[in-house]
Amino acid sequence: MSLTSEQVVLLRSSWQTIGKLGMSNVGLAVLHRLFNDVPETLPFFHSVLSPTQQTEIEVLKSNAKVVRHASRVGLSIDKIINLLDNGEELVKYLLFLGKVHVKRSIPRKYFSAMGPVLLSVISAVLEKDLDAPVMQAWATAYGVIEKGIIDGM
Ligand code: HEM
């Protein structure tokens, strides 16, 4: 684990701020950004989105399956943040996430694409530049998350 204890504190307090938006809203913002910045990811969500479906946030919000999936993604980040100082359980959970995505045939490269997506949503919510210490902590944390998930693939 390459996060310092100060970074863990920053991550947890900033996640509390982000969490005030509600887990499904956080997840929706992430998915919305992912679909717009990396549209090749859209077809993987065929079980929750029809192929012709628009990716405007309002359309995503009105789709109950998308909202349910968005809360799962939000809750998953919540779980990771809670496990940051429990290396063994964190590794297990990230391996599990890797396997979940292998079952859905998601290529590893999209986990690299997810980094900038997640960071831009978080920096917008926190109103912090990417070079702020809190954002550097998120960038490091995503590196840990990405590696852990990819190890499970
Ligand atoms: C940090 C990154 C990510 C996290 C934490 C995450 C988390 C999750 C979670 C918790 C689930 C639900 C698993 C279940 O209960 O069955 C899920 C499902 C899924 N994820 Fe991810 N995910 C991430 C990245 C991605 C990326 C980059 C893609 C696509 C390119 C993706 C595509 C999917 C798909 C297609 C499903 C199944 C949706 C459904 O049919 O309901 N995920 N993800």
Q: What is the CATH number of the domain that holds 109?
A: 1.10.490.10
Range of the domain at 108: 5-151
Query: Looking at residue 34, what is its pLDDT?
Result: 92
What's the gap in Å between 101 CA and the centre of ligand 1?
A: 6
d(CA 153, CA 142): 17
Nearest-CA neighbor of 31 among 55, 64, 10?
A: 55
Ligand 1 binding pocket (C-beta < 6 A) is 41, 44-45, 47-48, 69, 72-73, 76-77, 97, 100-101, 104, 106, 110-111, 114, 145
Would the pLDDT of 70 be above 60? yes
What average pLDDT does this structure show over 67-86?
90
Q: Measured from the CA of 68, which atom of ligand 1 is nearest?
A: 41
Would the pLDDT of 52 be above 70? no
Q: Measured from the CA of 44, which atom of ligand 1 is nearest?
A: 35
Tell whether the torsion through CA atoms of 81, 75, 14 and 41 is positive or negative: positive
Query: Looking at residue 63, what is its pLDDT?
Result: 84
Q: How many domains does the chain have?
A: 1
What average pLDDT does this structure show over 122-147?
96
